[in-house]
Homo-oligomer: A and B are copies of this chain.
């Protein structure tokens, strides 16, 4: 389905994409935030240095090198040559950093987008930290797959090699807070309508419906970044997508469609929505496996938070649920038509109570902005 892929990509205006997306990555404070994420750093560091055989004497490509850290580690692990590709001006800082660490003879920084640039040779390893919120936000995996199809040797390996998306029913006070925020915004609007009529002779009530829609979208339908505590997980977590980075295509990840069940595991609690997160694994390939498999997980954890946190999809109003209740969920995530790096989610949830009673399907629309 290469043609449909090309067609979808052609719609993207590069200047707009830069204004909306890449610009963030041009700031060092943002790079620092990622470089201070210990879970992220430890996973990549261990993945590289516990599997030096994948790097020693090899040619490596780092897609979206940012400040250059993965390229530097690849070189320190013995790579013969590392191509470090970066779309933003961060490339200049990467070059500086690589020089300061005396690796300029091994690491070559290339400023440009992965889709446009040309390498002088094929590579043995593609390493990249491409994961966005809820794994696929930012759609950066597209660029990694493009790199793989163009530049990876037949026996090459992907770092990471596998990725999974998880979801779980949760309980959260955010559901009340966001409803209060929304109610407050609408109460404020009512006052505004009265005042504008009284003071300025204009009836604004025709805008009440669209304002309500805008506020609902903002407060109730936009997924939230949150660091969930494990005790907020009130049901069995479920894998909704598995990705083999060596074989997956852009068409495989454009939509995420899943039907799954989850059992409520807490007594007498409130189903306030769903938490979503991801993990990735560094396993090498079947032909060329890792010596030590490394996992990077962004699951709720009492101690170890990541800058990705979890994405929370709130259910308004929350529903009372019991241990043993069964949730049947239909989940569809598609890319936003106006910005391919953002997502829309249609989520249907049916609750089959342990008593046998069936709660009618709840159907919700969410935006991952």
User: Contact partner of A100 among B100, B185, B205, CB < 8 A?
Assistant: B205
- Asked if A192 contacts B32 (CB within 8 A), the reply is yes
Interface assignment of A210: CB less than 8 Å from any CB of chain B: yes
Interface assignment of A260: CB less than 8 Å from any CB of chain B: no
Given contacts A35-B196, A200-B41, contact A67 B207 (CB under 8 A): yes
**A297 CB, nearest partner CB in chain B, Å:** 19
Please, how many angstroms separate the alpha-carbon atoms of A241 and B97 in the complex?
A: 45
Please, how many angstroms separate the alpha-carbon atoms of A193 and B202 in the complex?
A: 59
Who on chain B is nearest to A44 by CB? Answer: B200
The digit string for A337-366, where 1 denotes a CB below 8 A from any CB of B, is 000000000000000000000000000000
Q: What chain B residues lie within 8 Å of A201 (beta carbons)?
A: 76
Q: What chain B residues lie within 8 Å of A258 (beta carbons)?
A: none
- Asked if A211 contacts B101 (CB within 8 A), the reply is no
Interface assignment of A304: CB less than 8 Å from any CB of chain B: no
Who on chain B is nearest to A67 by CB? Answer: B207
Q: Which of A16-24, A116-124, A129-137, A245-253 contacts B (4 or more CB under 8 A)?
A: A16-24
- Asked if A27 contacts B202 (CB within 8 A), the reply is no
The digit string for A31-74, where 1 denotes a CB below 8 A from any CB of B, is 01001100001000100000000000000000000010100110
Interface assignment of A189: CB less than 8 Å from any CB of chain B: yes
Please, how many angstroms separate the alpha-carbon atoms of A176 and B210 in the complex?
A: 43
Please, how many angstroms separate the alpha-carbon atoms of A27 and B207 in the complex?
A: 12
Interface assignment of A7: CB less than 8 Å from any CB of chain B: no
Q: What chain B residues lie within 8 Å of A2 (beta carbons)?
A: none
Q: What chain B residues lie within 8 Å of A16 (beta carbons)?
A: 13, 15-16, 18-19
- In chain A between 185 and 199, which residues have their CB closer than 8 angstroms to a CB of chain B? 185, 189, 192, 196, 199
Q: What chain B residues lie within 8 Å of A101 (beta carbons)?
A: 202-203, 206
Please, how many angstroms separate the alpha-carbon atoms of A61 and B218 in the complex?
A: 33
**A123 CB, nearest partner CB in chain B, Å:** 22
Interface assignment of A307: CB less than 8 Å from any CB of chain B: no
Please, how many angstroms separate the alpha-carbon atoms of A124 and B237 in the complex?
A: 66
User: Contact partner of A97 among B13, B206, B215, CB < 8 A?
Assistant: B206
User: Contact partner of A32 among B27, B99, B211, CB < 8 A?
Assistant: B211
Who on chain B is nearest to A41 by CB? Answer: B200
Interface assignment of A369: CB less than 8 Å from any CB of chain B: no
- Asked if B96 contacts A206 (CB within 8 A), the reply is yes
- 5 residue pairs of the A-B complex, CB under 8 angstroms, read A13-B15, A69-B200, A72-B202, A97-B207, A100-B205
